[in-house]
Amino acid sequence: MAVPGAGGSRSYNFKIVLLGEGCVGKTSLVLRYVEDKFNDRHITTLQASFLTKRVNISGKRVNLAIWDTAGQERFHALGPIYYRESHGAILVYDITDEDSFQKVKNWVRELRRMLGNDICLVIAGNKLDLQKDRHVLLEEAEAYAQEVGAFHVQTSAKENKGVEELFIELTRRMLESAVANDQQRVNALSRGNNASNLQIVDDPAVQTNSKSCC
Ligand code: G3D
Ligand code: MG
């Protein structure tokens, strides 16, 4: 969703959800990105909610609402109510745990089935610091990500590796998508042959649910 800002410039509001098996490091990744903390005692109280972060990419202001689970994934109880209206999803697996990678594939299938290409996907292979215990091949994960139109990144929330890249790349993709969507709307309005229609682009009512294919 894009909203008009002061002087006609805009800021973009995006919802991101974290998905993946329990214990793969979802909460740790969010906490590392937003607060630059690891294994902090806030970790349990932060669950079940979302954190916000403001970023600026290519001169565009973006507000991210990053939703973390409350641990429901451990009981297979995460439903569409959690990820609906999301612009982006971060699918996390643990590189030492093959099952967690299979779980990511299940999530990709579900998201594509429920939301189509309206959602931008990033797959994160976390716990890169445990490389010696790796059970998921990097090549396999990268090939899979490419196949499903997702970006793949390796991360370590513990050592702060790849975390910034993960969120920035996802944000960049969501922005591209929103900008393309805005452009389509402008084109559609101008095709309507009414010059005054063009001004509607700055109307927040027109801009809600601004999504397009990634
Ligand atoms: P979840 O939110 O997906 O359930 P958490 O996962 O963020 O709660 O992390 C689960 C466990 O994995 C935590 O350990 C956490 O410290 C650890 N962890 C998270 N990210 C990394 C990482 O990048 N490297 C390593 N080595 N460990 C990580 P505990 O012991 O608290 O259960
Ligand atoms: Mg968690």
What are 42-92's pLDDT values in tens digits?
Answer: 555 444 578 999 999 989 999 999 999 877 777 777 788 889 999 999 999
Q: Give the pLDDT of residue 6.
A: 42
Compute the distance from residue 81 Cα to the ligand 1 centre, in Å: 25
pLDDT over 90 percentage in the chain: 64
| Residue 31 CB less than 6 A away from ligand 1 | no
Q: Give the pLDDT of residue 42.
A: 56
Does the residue 161 lie in any domain? yes
Enumerate residues with CB within 5 Å of ligand 2 (an ion): 26-27
Q: Give the pLDDT of residue 204.
A: 44
Which CATH number fits the domain that encloses residue 21?
3.40.50.300
Instruction: Give yes or no for residue 194 having a pLDDT over 50.
Output: yes
Does the residue 78 lie in any domain? yes
Closest atom of ligand 1 relative to the 130 alpha carbon = 26
Cα-based torsion angle of the residue sequence 103, 36, 150, 123 in order, rounded to the nearest 10 degrees: -20
Query: What is the DSSP pairing of strand 10-20 with strand 2-4?
Result: antiparallel
Does the residue 10 lie in any domain? yes
Instruction: Give yes or no for residue 34 having a pLDDT over 60.
Output: yes
Non-local (6+) Cβ contacts of 31 within 8 A are: 37, 38, 40, 42, 43, 46, 51, 157
Number of domains observed in the structure of the chain: 1
pLDDT, average across residues 24-46: 81
Does the residue 112 lie in any domain? yes
Range of the domain at 64: 2-179
Does the residue 119 lie in any domain? yes
- Token look-up 């969703």 returns 1
pLDDT over 70 percentage in the chain: 80
Does the residue 43 lie in any domain? yes
Ligand 1 pocket mutation pick from 18, 21, 23, 34 by most atoms within 8 angstroms of CB: 23
Does the residue 74 lie in any domain? yes
pTM score of the predicted model: 0.86
Does the residue 33 lie in any domain? yes
pLDDT, average across residues 166-175: 97
pLDDT, average across residues 29-42: 86
